[in-house]
Chains A and B, each alone.
Chain A
Amino acid sequence: MDFDIFIHILIAAIAAGTPFVYAALGELITEKSGVLNLGVEGMMLVGAISGFIAMAKTGSILVAVLCGMTAGALMAGIFAVLTLTLMANQVASGLALTIFGVGMSAFLGLKYTSIALPGVPEIHIPILSNIPVVGQLFFSHDMLIYCSGALFVAISWFLYKSKSGLILRGIGEAPKSAHALGYNVIKIRYMAVLFGGAMAGLGGTYLSIAYTPMWVEGMVAGRGWVSLALVVFATWRPARVMLGAYLFGAITIAQFHIQGFGIDIPAQLLSMLPYVATIVVLVFISRDQNTIRLNSPASLGITYHPNVQ
C-alpha cells in the first residue's frame, strides 16, 4: 500500500467518523449528567430527514443544520419529559424513542426519496491547505467537519475547565448532593438531554446532506448504536470518543481498500473488523479499573426526583 492511499484512507476516515463524533459527544454530555438515552439511532434518523427536507426546500446548509438539530432536540424532549418529569424507566424509554424515530423518519421522508441534493462544498483553508499531507488531512474538508472539531474542543473545555461542567459532572455523580447544594438537577438534566438530542440530529443531518446527500429509509444504518458503544468504551472521555470515532471510520475505509487490492481475507471477516478493532483498542487503553470508576457517572440510568427520597 503506498503512502498516497494511506493518506486517502485517513482523509476518508475523518469524514466517515464525523457522524459518530457528533452523536457520541452529544450522548457523552447526556450521560455525564446521569441520564442514559438509548434513543440515539432514532434521533439521528429524525435529524437526518428534517435536515434533508430543510436543505431540499431552502438550499441553505445553515437552515438544514438548525432544523436537524431542532428535530433531534424535540425527540430528546419527548424522552426528557418521560424520564425526568414522569420518571419513566430510561432504558425502556430510550429504546421506544429509537423505534418511534425509525417509523417517524420513514413517514416524514415518504415524498423525499426521489430528490438529489448538491452536497456540501469543501472549504480549502488558504495557505494551511497547501501544507503537504497535513493540509489535505485537516484543512480540506466541508464546513460540518470543521464544526465537529470545534465541538470537541468546546466540550473538552466545558467538562473539565468550566464551573458549569463541574456542576454537570457533579449531578451525574451524586444528584442528591447536588440538589442539597441548591442546584436544579432536573433542569440541568433537561438541558443535557436536549443538547444530546441536538447533536444526534446534527450527526444525522451530516449523513443526509453531506456524506450521502440523499434520503432513504433507515439510512443511519446502526450508527446511533455504534455511537452509544463508543461513549462507554471510551470511558466517558471526549478525546477517546474522538479517537474511537476516527478509528472506526479508518478501519471501515481500510477494509474496503484491502478488498480492492485483492488481498485474500474473507470479506465477512473484514466487515466485522471496525467493530471488533475499535472495541479492543478502546478497552485496552481504558482497562484501568480506577479510570473507569473515576469517569463513569455513578448515577447513570438511575431515575432521580428531588421530592422522592
Chain B
Amino acid sequence: MTSMKKHVLSVFILLACVAGFTLSASAEDKLKVGFVYISPVGDAGWTYQHDLGRLELEKNLGDKIVTKYIESVPEGPEAERVIRDLAKSGHDLIFTTSFGYMNPTLKVAKMFPKKYFEHSTGYKTTKNVGTYMCRFYEGRYLTGIVAGKMTKSNTLGYVAAFPIPEVIRGINAFTLGAKSVNPDIQVKVIWVNSWFDPGKEREASEALITQGADVITHHTDSTAPTLTAEEKGVYSIAYHSDMSKYGPKAHLTAATHVYGDFYTKTTQAVLDNTWKSDAVWSGIKEGSIELAPMNPVVPADVVALVEKTTKAIADGSFHPFQGPVKDQSGKVVVEAGKSLTDKDLLGMSYYVEGVLGKIPK
C-alpha cells in the first residue's frame, strides 16, 4: 500500500469512529450541557464556584442530563474554537463563564441558532444567548459591616484587580457597609493590574497591612491575601469562595457566588422547551450571593446585624446604594430616599466617601 492510500484509509477510519461516537452519544437521549471555564477548577475562586454550580446541577437533574466542562480556556480565538466544538459535539446548552467569551459566544450562537447559550457577566443578548451574573455588591456591603465592626485601626485594605465598574462597585459597596456601622473608617485600595498573581497580591496585602490596615479584602482570584493576613496576624475577608482553611484565624467571612440554582432552573427550562433569552442579575434574594460561615471571633451582635441587613436586602426594603450616598468630594450622588438604578450601577466610575486615592484612568 502506498503512503497516500494509507493516509486516505486512516482518515476514513477516523471519520467512521467519529460518526460512531456521535451516533452512540445521541442514542443516550440526554441533554448535553457544556461549560467553558477561564482557569483550572482548583479549590477556590471564580471558576471553582461555577463548578460547584455545575455539580449541583448534576445532582438535581442527573438522570436527564450529562455535563462536560473545559477548563483553562483563554479569552480570544481559542475560546471560539472550544465553544464551537462543544456545540458541534451535541451540547444543546452551553454556559460560557468569563467576560471575554462574549464575542466568541455570540459568533458561535449565530452559527447554531437552535442551541442555547448563557454568557456570564456579559451585556449582549440575542435570541439564543442569555446573560447572567450576581449582585455581588450586596455581599460586599454585608462584609463591609463585619469589617467596620472588627477594625481597631479604622483602616481597611482592598487589593483590587482592574479599575472597571464591576470592581469599583465592590469597593464602594464594601465602604458603604463599613461606614454604616463605623463612620470613621477609611478604605485604602491597591491595584495589582492582574486578576490572578499570588506574588503581587501578597505584596499589595503586605503594603496595606504595613500602612495600618487590620482587615484585608480583595477582588482578585487567589488565596494570597488571606494567607498574608494570617501570617501578619490581621483579619481578612475573602471573595468568590470560602477561604477559611487558608487562614483559620484571619478569615472573618467571604462573599461567595452560588450558581447551582440558576444552572438547574435554566437547564430545566431548556428541557421543558420554555427557555427564553434574558439578562439575569440575581443576588441575595435569589440565593445567588451568600456569606461564608462567620469566624467565631465575630461578636453575636454583629452577626445579628448582618442577618438583619441580609433579610432587608432580600425583601427589597434596603438597597446597599440607598441615598444619601456621597462621592469623595462630598457631593451627593444618590439623594435621600432614592437608590441607584441598575444602569448607574453597571457604569459606576467614581469612589464614594471613605475610599482613599483616585481611580486610575
Contact = CB atoms under 8 A, between A and B. Distances in A.
B246 A262 contact: no
Interface string B182-224: 0000001111110011111111101110110000000000111
A10 to B, nearest CB: 11
A264 B359 CA distance: 9
B198 A16 contact: no
A263 B211 CA distance: 14
Nearest to B246: A116
B211 A267 contact: no
B168 interface: no
Nearest to A112: B43
Interface in A217-260: 217, 219, 221, 223, 252-253, 256-257, 259-260
Given A113-B43, A114-B43, A256 B198 contact: no
B207 A212 contact: no
Contact of B231 (A119, A264, A267): A119
A259 B199 contact: no
B227 A213 contact: yes
Interface string B15-27: 0000000000000
Interface residues of A, number: 34
A267 B360 contact: yes
Nearest to B202: A212
Interface in B319-361: 356-358, 360-361
A268 B192 CA distance: 9
A266 interface: yes
B222 to A, nearest CB: 6
Contact of A259 (B42, B44, B190, B227): B190
Contacts of A5: 210-211
A262 B191 CA distance: 11
Contact of B360 (A260, A261, A266): A266
A263 B358 CA distance: 8
Nearest to A117: B227
Given A114-B43, A212-B224, A262-B358, A219 B198 contact: yes
Contacts of A261: 211, 356-357
A271 B189 CA distance: 14
B358 A214 contact: no
Nearest to B188: A260
Size range of the chain B interface in the assembly: 35 or more
A219 B223 CA distance: 12
A216 B198 contact: yes
B40 interface: yes
B360 A268 contact: yes
Contacts of B44: 114
Q: Which of A12, A213, A214, A268 has the most CB of B within 10 A?
A: A214
A116 B251 CA distance: 14
A190 to B, nearest CB: 32
A259 B203 CA distance: 12
Contact of B211 (A260, A264, A271): A260
A282 interface: no
Contacts of B39: 217
A138 interface: no
B40 A113 contact: yes
A21 interface: no
A256 B40 contact: no
A114 B243 CA distance: 10
Contact of B40 (A106, A116, A212, A271): A106
A260 B188 CA distance: 6
A212 B199 contact: yes
Contacts of A114: 42-44
Contacts of A207: 199
A91 B276 CA distance: 54
Interface in A97-117: 106, 110, 113-114, 116
A211 interface: yes
B287 interface: no
Nearest to A208: B198
A271 B199 CA distance: 13
A113 B72 CA distance: 14
A8 interface: yes
A150 B255 CA distance: 45
Contacts of A211: 199, 202
B245 interface: yes
A219 B245 contact: no
Nearest to B157: A260
B90 interface: no
A240 B303 CA distance: 54
Contacts of A263: 357
Contacts of B163: 267
B208 A260 contact: yes
A253 B207 CA distance: 7
A146 B200 CA distance: 22
B361 A266 contact: yes
Nearest to A7: B210
Nearest to A114: B43
Contacts of A223: 199
Contact of A16 (B203, B211, B361): B203
A16 to B, nearest CB: 6
A162 to B, nearest CB: 35
A67 to B, nearest CB: 20
A15 to B, nearest CB: 9
Contacts of B190: 256, 259-260
A8 B210 contact: yes
Interface in A178-225: 207, 211-214, 216-217, 219, 221, 223
Contacts of B206: 12, 253, 256
Given A113-B42, A212-B224, A252-B200, 7 more contacts: A8-B210, A216-B42, A253-B207, A257-B210, A260-B211, A264-B358, A266-B360
23 contacts: A12-B210, A16-B199, A16-B203, A114-B43, A119-B227, A212-B202, A212-B224, A212-B227, A214-B227, A217-B40, A221-B197, A223-B199, A252-B200, A257-B211, A259-B357, A260-B188, A260-B190, A260-B207, A261-B357, A267-B360, A268-B193, A268-B360, A271-B192
The 3 closest A-B CB pairs, nearest first, are A114-B43, A262-B357, A267-B191
